[in-house]
Amino acid sequence: MQRESPARTPKAVAALTLGAIGVVYGDIGTSPLYALKEVFAHDRVPLTPDNVLGILSMVFWTLTVIVSFKYVSLILRADNNGEGGLIAMLALASVAVREHPRLRRALLLVGIFGTAIFFGDGVITPAVSVLGAVEGLEVAAPAMHRYIVPVSLAVLTALFAAQRFGTGGIGRFFGPVMTLWFLVLALLGAYHVLDKPQVLVALSPHHALGFVLRHPHMAFVSLGAVVLCVTGAEALYADLGHFGKLPIRLAWFSLAWPALVLNYFGQGAMLLDHPEAIRNPFYEMAPEWGLFPLIGLATLAAVIASQALITAAFSVTKQAMQLGYLPRLRIAHTSVKETGQIYVPFVNWALFVCIIAAVAAFGSSSALASAYGIAVTIDMTITTVMTFFVIRFAWGLPLPLCLLATGLFFLVDVTFFAANAIKVLEGGWFPLAIGGVMFLLMTTWKQGRHLMSERLREEAIELPAFLESLFISPPQRVDGTAVFLSAEKGATPFALLHNLKHNKVLHEQNLFVSVQNHEVPWIGFNKRVEIESLGHDCWQVVLHFGFKNEPDVPEALKLVQGRGINLDDMQTSYFLSRDQVIPTLRGGMALWREKLFASMHRNAGAAADFLSLPTNRIVELGSKVEI
């Protein structure tokens, strides 16, 4: 992972800026394929010169206020040890308000809901981007309309099938391809702007204001489509840890923003002279000879935008798992050099099934655009709310300044959300349904784990007291080291009790290890291990990991070497308990949720794999837990 560093050379900054163009701005960079078209679709806004200028002004100031001012200027400052994204912001905000328990619980729920909604957005983005790109075939040859959905499905299938190989090999091409894409956007737009330069008067906000005052209802409805020009803005913050503030800002102000503005204004300039081009203004801007190359480039850009979002979904899933909001899933590392390059098979194919369903059900980028926007605006609003609590409680800024800094953005976000809320029945229900299911699963898992921990704590025997009684008449000791994994520090692991009951032996060295995940992205090796001697060659060990650290227990235990403990890998066995959850009417959760949790727990990935334990030195002992 790259970190913000004052020692970066100009060459390193240039390389990171190129990478940011390819990864950070893929989603927002493909918005011109469908955003302006959707504003005027279905005659929701009559195609008159004043309306075109008003909409262009709204697009420009939406890009300026939401992306340039909110995300680039403010949100990027709210980093969590150099990391960004909604989970990093959630962790930062929850730590900042830890002295206000009720507020902290409310923020956690809101933040987790935003994370759940992200998965809904993750379904819509690849579908609408690829469909929007492939729809150029219809402009090039109307008879090819029937091939749009099959070609889109083929592209998406190939994309998801390739995920298991990782992006290390092709990732280096993302930056150059997206740079070419933005240059093409700029050139296409500039050609038409130069042909009709008076369109540039829309840079003045009075055109947007005039449109709102003349047609308030029409302007409000159009906001639901205008917001499509900033889909992907959350990626600015989410990818902070990969690239750092400076490269992200340079990429936006030097290339992405100017190219997007030129392209939107170019589409508007063309529409002033050729209103019939509204069927697909992006592709209608291109000369006839360049249509097929442009379709190919647009499809590549859509694939890159989709890839960035799929990768983000893998990363968010892993972080949610380590924070205890999702069950363990199998994670494959696709790079020996970059720990951030991972592949989560279950998430990959679940996204694929939902995306294929979306393409097949909606059938066009226009239909999907109705479903798009609501998830984006929910996440943008939640980010603004979280930012307020970070700058107020973590940074300690005066309340009036905090309200001023976030109040305007909150008002803008809520307005865009309200405009999209009226599209719920037109398709907005789709990402909301996906987000709702994810929220249910995440909260059920978190609450279930809490109930399970409480139950285990009730039944637990204090470890020091147990060892004291054990060594009154000690069992036979055998060579080697036993590592007993336990969720609770200071509690006697069930695996130890079962081992003594059935094998009637104790190893020469015994480590009682608890793994604690924290609401910070990274915890360094200097703070990784806490160790406490319990006597009789027994030690209590606590391992600390951030939500972006790799929870590698054997690697972390190397840090105890020489501190009274002598570890030999070949003489070390790992003991852990495989708990079976039994739902009961104890009053913890509704019985159906307890059954859901029990099913999730039963199907969760093995703890041994998640903790990187060596498969040939694991002993699992079962136990039952009633909740």
- Mean pLDDT, contiguous 10-residue spans, the chain (627 residues): 54 88 90 92 88 96 95 88 84 87 91 90 88 91 89 93 76 88 97 95 96 94 92 84 88 96 96 92 93 95 89 87 89 68 89 92 84 87 92 91 92 94 86 93 93 85 92 91 91 89 91 90 90 93 90 92 85 89 82 92 87 89 78
**Under 8 Å between Cβ of 344 and 314:** yes
Q: Say what the pLDDT of residue 5 is.
A: 45
Q: Say what the pLDDT of residue 170 is.
A: 65
Can you list the domains of the chain with their CATH numbers?
Answer: 10-168+176-447 (1.20.1740.10), 461-626 (no CATH)
The sign of the dihedral angle between the CA atoms of 296, 302, 305, 311 is negative
**Rounded CA Rg of the chain:** 27
For the entire predicted model, the pTM comes to: 0.86
Q: In terms of residues, how long is the chain?
A: 627
The sign of the dihedral angle between the CA atoms of 330, 333, 334, 338 is positive
SS3 labels along 207-255: HHHHHHHHCHHHHHHHHHHHHHHHCCCHHHHHCHHHHCHHHHHHHHHHH
Q: Which of 125, 126, 119 has its CA nearest to residue 320?
A: 119
The sign of the dihedral angle between the CA atoms of 600, 603, 607, 611 is negative
CA atoms of 424 and 191, how far apart (whole Å): 38
Pairing between β-strand 572-582 and β-strand 505-518 as defined by DSSP bridges: unpaired
Q: Say what the pLDDT of residue 481 is.
A: 94
Q: Say what the pLDDT of residue 3 is.
A: 41
Q: Say what the pLDDT of residue 4 is.
A: 42
**Contacts with 168 (C-beta within 8 Å, 6 or more apart), sequence order:** 334, 335, 337, 338, 341
CA atoms of 225 and 574, how far apart (whole Å): 56
Q: Which of 304, 84, 285 has its CA nearest to residue 176?
A: 304
Q: Which of 181, 192, 204, 211 has its CA nearest to residue 281?
A: 192
